[in-house]
Amino acid sequence: MKKVMLIFPPEWVPTAPYLALPSLAAVLRQNNIETVLKDINVEMYDHIFTPGFLLFIKGKIQDRLKELKRNEANLSAEDQELKQMLSDYQHIDLDYHIQKVTRAKHIMRSEEFYEVEKSEWALNAFREVMEYVSVAYFPASIQFYPVESNLNIYRPWVSEDLLKVPFDNKVNVYADICRQLVLRSIKKEKPDVVGISIGTPVQLMSGITFATLIKEAFPDIHVTVGGNIITRLKDEFAKKPHFFGKAFDSMITYEGEHALVWLVEALAGKRKMSEVSNLIYKDEEGQMHINETYQERVDQLPAPDFDGMPWEKYFSPEKLVPYLGTRGCYWGKCTFCDHGAGYIDQFRAKHADQIVDELEYLKNKLNAKHFMFTDESFPPALFLKLPPMMVERELDIYWTTLIRFESQLLEPETWDMAHKAGCRSLYYGLESANERIIKLVKKDTDINAAKINLEQAKRVGIWSHVMCFYGFPSETEAEAEDTRQFLIDNQHQIPSVEMYFFVLYKNAPVMFAADEYKIDVQVNPEHDLALDYYYTPESGQTTEEAMQRYEKFYQDDFNPWALRINAREHVFLYITKFGTSDLPQLYVKNNPEAHDHHLSPEVMM
């Protein structure tokens, strides 16, 4: 049988594994297919913060500076500025920064992480070095956290840019990462099939770069791409046969576990390519094929298989294990949400006893206590049913999840049991606190129930993180103010907050009812892989006004919630470590010197 290598490309939060690779590996290995897992996302960050890579960056900066000096007479004003910047960075004390990031990696992976001044210092040491790395790839901006890297002159929502970017060795950091990490691994492991999981828009640039360079270096390897973003863009890519054979050989849409097994079997001559569900491919005559769809039976899938994941490289002191108990969203009505486009249709859940069995198995196999349910939204039925089973089984784990405010979760006993079962943080999608907007987005949140949920979570020591947005079509300033006022009025019950502005996603229900919501959608034909669109509402705040309101919230109102450490996984670890949802040391307001990132000798020791 063919050998498979699965790759998770940058960029994603490097605190824990992403669940795609372990989920696929479990079914491949169940079918006796040799499978190698490569989390290149975390390997990239680990690699960047090494002496070898930083010396490589120093050489890259020197080479770009020499090239500009050779063309001194013909430089534009912009090139002159770049030459000056590259020249300035020649004087950086690189040994000092190498020492800092080496120390910083140790802090993030040890008990010292729990001394917040040290972990904050470490994160800023990484950010400083990323500024140095970005200079080498100017005008690209390469980030550590938050994950907001941008190659700037290449746009992931334009297919022509995706085809060009793999061959730009000046700006594309992912091309260097591919040569230094991916191609070397492929040469060593000799896989017959490479699967690249592209779960986020940010990963399109790196994922297509990897796929293209793998095809160039190893033309006999079958490269297939899949993941949530590939699924959302399946129709667009199916109309672009020039991607097939050049960037990749096939696409797996929707869920990939059995589809990937069947693809391997087809490539081994054991079935026809036309029999591989969820597959899009081009045949030898150049004809495009879109095969029938297949939906996994989640209660028949094995537990994820993490063998081969580089646990020692994640930027966390504890193993944080992602786990999925359901697929799709049990609510599935929100008009602003496009997550449903990643699934065929139906919400499915594993049986509660199966979930408890798998959590126990993973806890023992991985020697881990921290679990993150990555469900679209944790169903209230499971929130009621699972905790007593966890307690009875004496699982002794900590867990966190995304959840709706629910009228079914009002009883104090429910919250006592959730905490007893190890629940330590919950991430709520409030979206809006205005009744008319709540009805328009079809969230159907009961604001009184939301207050009780927050009160009960606070009482038992569960951290509540509340997410909202401004600017749903027709929302007035007064309606947006209701949401702001809800957060301020309930501030003592809400440890952390995220505010956004409304984005019109191409696969969201509101997009398919533009007339009903009275919005004028502007589609730019050049942006052929766009996942969201600019629009003008007939009434209410304009998109610009909503963005200004969002910025004003962070300028004027956010101070009570500003944290020194922002990654959800890191906050979760602090909560479990200190046994409470009241963590004053995490807040900027309680630390006047929180933004003083100068090196202190005791941190470096």
Phi, psi (deg, nearest 5) at residue 476: -90, 170
* 33, 54: one domain: no
* 420, 521: one domain: yes
How far CA 176 is from CA of 38, 182, 183, 218, in Å, comes to 16, 10, 10, 17
* 64, 209: one domain: no
pLDDT of 596 over the 50 cut? no
Alpha-carbon gap, residue 399 to 386, rounded angstroms: 12
How far CA 62 is from CA of 48, 55, 87, 96, in Å, comes to 18, 11, 8, 19
Asked if the bond preceding 310 is cis, omega within 30° of 0, the reply is no
Q: What is the mean pLDDT of residues 64-73?
A: 91
Q: What is the mean pLDDT of residues 582-591?
A: 90
Identify the domain containing residue 173 by its residue range: 4-42+168-289
Q: What percent of the chain has pLDDT over 90?
A: 92
pLDDT of 595 over the 60 cut? no
Alpha-carbon gap, residue 457 to 474, rounded angstroms: 33
Q: What is the mean pLDDT of residues 100-115?
A: 98
Alpha-carbon gap, residue 172 to 9, rounded angstroms: 14
pTM for the full predicted model: 0.95
Tell me if 208 sits within 8 A of 165, measured CB to CB. Answer: yes
* 37, 91: one domain: no
203-228 pLDDT per residue, tens: 999 999 999 999 999 999 999 999 99
Tokens 């919400």 -> residue: 347
* 22, 117: one domain: no
Which ranges of 367-446 does DSSP label H, i.e. alpha helix? Answer: 380-393, 412-420, 435-440
pLDDT of residue 602: 56
Model confidence at 269, pLDDT cuts 50, 70, 90, reads: very high
Alpha-carbon gap, residue 465 to 467, rounded angstroms: 7
pLDDT of residue 555: 97
- Token digits of residue 378: 């944790």
Q: How many structural domains does the chain have? A: 3
Buried b (16+ CB within 10 A) or exposed e, 310-335: ebebbbbbbbbbbbbbbbbbbbbebb
Q: What is the mean pLDDT of residues 113-124?
A: 97
Model confidence at 3, pLDDT cuts 50, 70, 90, reads: very high
Alpha-carbon gap, residue 571 to 109, rounded angstroms: 15
Q: What angle do CA 342, 347, 350 make, to 5 degrees?
A: 110
pLDDT of residue 603: 60
* 278, 322: one domain: no
Phi, psi (deg, nearest 5) at residue 198: -110, 100
Helices 94-108 and 116-136 pack at an angle, to 10 degrees, of 130
Tell me if 276 sits within 8 A of 261, measured CB to CB. Answer: no
* 504, 539: one domain: yes
- Token digits of residue 592: 């006047």
Alpha-carbon gap, residue 346 to 428, rounded angstroms: 22
- Token digits of residue 73: 């007479």
Q: Is residue 486 part of a domain?
A: yes
Q: Is residue 24 part of a domain?
A: yes
Alpha-carbon gap, residue 255 to 271, rounded angstroms: 19
450-494 pLDDT per residue, tens: 999 999 999 999 999 999 999 999 999 999 999 999 999 999 999
Among 49, 40, 170, 163, residue whose Cα is nearest residue 104: 49
Q: Is residue 147 part of a domain?
A: no
How big is the chain, counted in residues?
605
* CA terminus-to-terminus distance, the chain: 51
pLDDT of residue 579: 83
- Token digits of residue 576: 């479990």
pLDDT averaged over every residue in the chain: 94
Q: Domain boundary at 90, 119, 136, which?
A: 136
Among 484, 466, 491, residue whose Cα is nearest residue 546: 484
Alpha-carbon gap, residue 57 to 176, rounded angstroms: 10
* 377, 437: one domain: yes
Q: Is residue 297 part of a domain?
A: no
Identify the sign of the CA torsion 580, 581, 582, 588.
Answer: positive
Q: What is the mean pLDDT of residues 47-62?
A: 97
Q: Is residue 538 part of a domain?
A: yes
Q: What is the Cβ-side half-sphere exposure of residue 231, based on CA atoms within 13 angstroms?
A: 20
SS3 content of the chain, % helix, strand, coil (to 5): 50, 15, 35
Q: Is residue 493 part of a domain?
A: yes
Q: Is residue 151 part of a domain?
A: no
* 404, 516: one domain: yes
Sequential DSSP letters for 551-589: HHIIIII-GGG-BS---HHHHHHHHHHHTSS--GGGBGG
Buried b (16+ CB within 10 A) or exposed e, 87-102: eebeebebeebbebbe
Tell me if 465 sits within 8 A of 435, measured CB to CB. Answer: no
Q: What is the mean pLDDT of residues 410-439?
A: 97
* 412, 335: one domain: yes
Tell me if 65 sits within 8 A of 90, measured CB to CB. Answer: yes
Model confidence at 109, pLDDT cuts 50, 70, 90, reads: very high
Model confidence at 148, pLDDT cuts 50, 70, 90, reads: confident
329-369 pLDDT per residue, tens: 999 999 999 887 778 777 999 999 999 999 999 999 999 99
Q: What is the CATH number of the domain that holds 442?
A: 3.80.30.20
* 243, 261: one domain: yes
Alpha-carbon gap, residue 172 to 412, rounded angstroms: 53
pLDDT of 604 over the 80 cut? no
Asked if the bond preceding 11 is cis, omega within 30° of 0, the reply is yes
Q: What is the CATH number of the domain that holds 271?
A: 3.40.50.2300
Q: Is 550 in a helix, a strand, or coil?
A: helix
Tell me if 401 sits within 8 A of 426, measured CB to CB. Answer: yes
Alpha-carbon gap, residue 359 to 303, rounded angstroms: 9
Tell me if 139 sits within 8 A of 152, measured CB to CB. Answer: yes
Q: Is residue 251 part of a domain?
A: yes
* 428, 467: one domain: yes
Model confidence at 518, pLDDT cuts 50, 70, 90, reads: very high
pLDDT of residue 264: 98
Alpha-carbon gap, residue 530 to 284, rounded angstroms: 29
